[in-house]
């Protein structure tokens, strides 16, 4: 369930240590007794605080709603536009009452470049309901580790930005109680995302 498909997006510097730290934390978290229904280990997820164009945002601010959580960056040429378009299409397909119960958060993996203003403008291009989030490097490392998002920034001299960021195209699903409950990969398509969101919105008897 928690295997992720990866991609590399051309985007100044090389930060190998951050990748190792994130992977080490993911490994430690995966060793914890937190298994999904299929028997595999899933990341623990949990509360975080990052910054949006409107100010600080906590995951708990969205308690009572289904949350779509995606990690990427605004200079990404392929994975992020496609994934955000899928999220936007999903939100647009919902009835107003359903959409009011869903939040979408886009977390940057490039906090040095992606300011709150830049994230807000970029996310809003795909749907006004998508909130762009940034933070300092430590905050990003923490949230990516706890949500099981492996990523790597590496030099790419041939690109205009001088670096690239490899990251999965996975959209994470957080239920109304704030629990990380699933994921949708790029290969799954928009209808799968919509179906999973509707499933989480359906009251359980």
Q: What is each CA distance from 67 to 102, 105, 197, in whole angstroms?
A: 6, 7, 9
* pLDDT tens-digit series, residues 76-95: 989 999 999 999 999 999 99
User: Is 115 inside any structural domain?
Assistant: yes
Q: Of the ranges 27-36, 88-97, 120-129, 141-150, which one carries the lowest mean pLDDT score?
A: 27-36
**Count: domains in the chain:** 1
Angstrom distance (rounded) from CA 82 to CA 42: 25
Number of CB atoms found within 10 A of residue 9's CB: 23
CATH code of residue 31: 3.40.30.10
* pLDDT tens-digit series, residues 8-67: 444 433 344 444 444 444 343 333 334 443 344 668 899 999 999 999 999 999 999 999
- Joined tokens for residue 91: 């939100």
Q: The domain containing residue 185 runs over which residues?
A: 7-35+42-201
User: Is 135 inside any structural domain?
Assistant: yes
User: Is 123 inside any structural domain?
Assistant: yes
Angstrom distance (rounded) from CA 165 to CA 75: 10
User: Is 94 inside any structural domain?
Assistant: yes
User: Is 2 inside any structural domain?
Assistant: no
| 66-98 exposure pattern, b = at least 16 Cβ within 10 A, e = fewer | bbbbbbbbbbbeebbbebbebbbebbeebeeee
User: Is 142 inside any structural domain?
Assistant: yes
User: Is 60 inside any structural domain?
Assistant: yes
User: Is 194 inside any structural domain?
Assistant: yes
Question: pTM for the full model?
Answer: 0.80
């Amino acid at each position: 369930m928690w295997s992720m498909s990866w991609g590399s997006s051309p985007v100044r510097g090389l930060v190998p240590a951050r990748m190792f730290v994130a992977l080490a934390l993911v490994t430690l978290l995966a060793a914890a007794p937190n298994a999904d229904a299929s028997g595999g280990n899933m990341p623990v997820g949990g509360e975080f605080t990052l910054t949006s164009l409107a100010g600080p945002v906590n995951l708990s601010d969205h308690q009572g709603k289904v949350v779509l959580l995606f990690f990427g960056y605004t200079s990404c040429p392929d994975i992020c536009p496609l994934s955000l378009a899928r999220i936007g299409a999903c939100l647009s397909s919902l009835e107003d009452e359903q959409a009011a119960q869903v939040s979408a958060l886009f977390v940057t993996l490039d906090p040095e470049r992606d300011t709150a203003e830049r994230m807000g403008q970029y996310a809003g291009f795909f749907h006004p309901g998508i909130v762009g989030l940034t933070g300092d490097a430590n905050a990003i490392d923490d949230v990516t580790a706890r949500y099981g998002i492996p990523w790597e920034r590496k030099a790419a001299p041939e690109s205009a930005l001088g670096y690239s960021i490899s990251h999965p195209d996975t959209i994470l699903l957080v239920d109304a109680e704030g629990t990380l409950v699933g994921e949708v990969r790029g290969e799954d398509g928009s209808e799968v995302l919509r179906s999973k969101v509707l499933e989480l919105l359906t009251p359980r008897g």
